[in-house]
Amino acid sequence: MKINSPLEAYKFLPATNCGECGEATCMAFAAHLIDRSHKLTDCTPILEPKFKKKYEELDALLAPEIREVEIGVGDKIAKIGGDDVLYRHKLTFFNQTQLAYDVWDTMDEKALVERVKYIQDFKKFYVGNFLTVDMVAVRCTSNDPAKFASAVKKVVETTDLPIILCSFDPAVLKAGLEASKGRNPLLYAANKDNWKEVGELALEYDVPVTLFAPNDLDLLKSLAKTFAAMGTEKLVLDPGTFPTGKQLKQTFTNFVKVRRAGIDGDREIAYPIMAVPFTAWMAHDDPVSASYWETVVASVFTIRYGDIMILHSTEPYAVLPELHIRDTIYTDPRKPVSVDPGMYKVGEPTADSPVLVTTNFALTYYTVESDIASNKIDCFLWAIDTDGIGVEAAVAGGQLTAAKIKKGIEESGFDLKKDTTHNTIILPGLAARLQGDVEDETGANVMIGPADSGRIPGWMEKNWPPQKK
């Protein structure tokens, strides 16, 4: 049974307080084992032969409730599963949903390569990071192993993204495996008719495999037990994705049942789950409706336990909602999203340029920076360390104070009196009550800017440069 307490983990550690793990005490290290910010192998003493039994016991007790499965190789490897909780606020969700977009073997070669490159290169900058898609799913629509192998070969030559080989025909899958040797693709899929042949392929090539049992959880569990008995636990479960009506509700229920059973300790079904929002294209003839419902289904199962998905529409209006909701759900609630505190230059500021203060909460910082940069305002932007908390909350909670602003200025090495001609700081409107304290702490002139950074351009026109006193 999994342990969730640092004290329980501590009992298995050598308790030398050697510090080789980077922590001052073994208890501190145990706490990091529980929240998965450290690995057990970071503890050098427990790797000694005399502690082998304790290492093996603790390693098993720390293993996630849902098995982690790896797809692909190298820097682009996709990890799915590995969760311990049903609800993010109880800990966090660890491996974000992997989004695979399809190509098919009856495509013209040029169109196939262009689509793969588009999938590979798609990215959107958001709150300090680029949102990207993860995988390519190669579908066999020709029923021809040779044609499928040719398409798979072209895909692996074009991208290093992980791939999914999609067919219920074992001969087709074998051809795809031969064309993608060394790439550790995911097989899709084994079902009640082909399980033996596909299972043998998964074992022979040592690759992960999806088990498909639409709306039949008993069959799904039976397949999982059978494959485990055959010798592989590199399994992904597909309970079927029905994109409309009562069947969509049943799909939702099935996902919850499978994940709840796994979290509650049923190891026979504790595997990552696949959703296939692509099925919306089978239920809707109109491309606009199909794309819309595909995005809706993807969003639903990003929230409810879909560890990997196969999708079709690569239009930005479909992909961006999928990426944004995934980024939101898989943001670690234990860690505020923040930027490094410090002085940042926006544009090409000079000694006459304004100096603005904000917090290091990433959403606040990048909103302010974007509003300034898009209006071509050259300035210095100070991100004060508020533990990743926004302006209004940081002022109320004491994370943004005059002393913190002074400290941030001093640590940046920026001298307001020497490096500017105006010795002036502009505080955000929501921090107006700090004006007097900041003036006393820093000796600088303090102006109060707008509460909304979108109004900075208009405010600058009226108030900058400051009038000399």
Task: Could you list the residues known to form a binding site, using ranges.
Answer: 18, 21, 26, 43, 358, 364, 388-391, 453
Tokens of 213: 């049992």
Residue 342: HSE in the Cβ half-sphere, 13 Å Cα cutoff = 7
* SS3 annotation, the chain: CCCCCHHHHHCCCCCCCCCCCCCCCHHHHHHHHHCCCCCHHHCCHHHCHHHHHHHHHHHHHHCCCCCEEEECCHHHCEEEECCCCCCHHHCCCCCCCEEEEEEECCCCHHHHHHHHHHHHHCEEEECCEEEECCEEEEECCCCCHHHHHHHHHHHHHHCCCCEEEECCCHHHHHHHHHHCCCCCCEEEEECCCCHHHHHHHHHHHCCCEEEECCCCHHHHHHHHHHHHHHCCCCEEEECCCCCCHHHHHHHHHHHHHHHHHHHCCCHHHCCCEEECHHHHHHHCCCHHHHHHHHHHHHHHHHHCCCCEEEECCCCHHHHHHHHHHHHHHCCCCCCCCECCCEEEEECCCCCCCCEEEEECEHHHHHHHHHHHHHCCCCEEEEEECCCCCCHHHHHHHCCCCHHHHHHHHHHHCCCHHHHCCCCEEEECHHHHHHHHHHHHHHCCEEEECCCCHHHHHHHHHHHCCCCCC
- Binding-site residue numbers for [4Fe-4S] cluster are 18, 21, 26, 43
What lies within 8 Å, CB to CB, of 17 at 6+ separation is 24, 25, 26
Place of tokens 């499928």: 148
State the first-to-last Cα distance of the chain, in angstroms, to the nearest integer. Answer: 71
Phi-psi region at 310: left, alpha or beta (left = phi > 0; alpha = psi -120 to 50): beta
Separation between Cα atoms, residue 113 and residue 101, nearest integer Å: 13
Separation between Cα atoms, residue 119 and residue 103, nearest integer Å: 10
What lies within 8 Å, CB to CB, of 305 at 6+ separation is 255, 256, 258, 259, 273
- Binding-site residue numbers for 5-methoxybenzimidazolylcob(I)amide are 358, 364, 388-391, 453
Give residue 205's identity as a one-letter amino acid code. Answer: Y
Tokens of 337: 């999203």
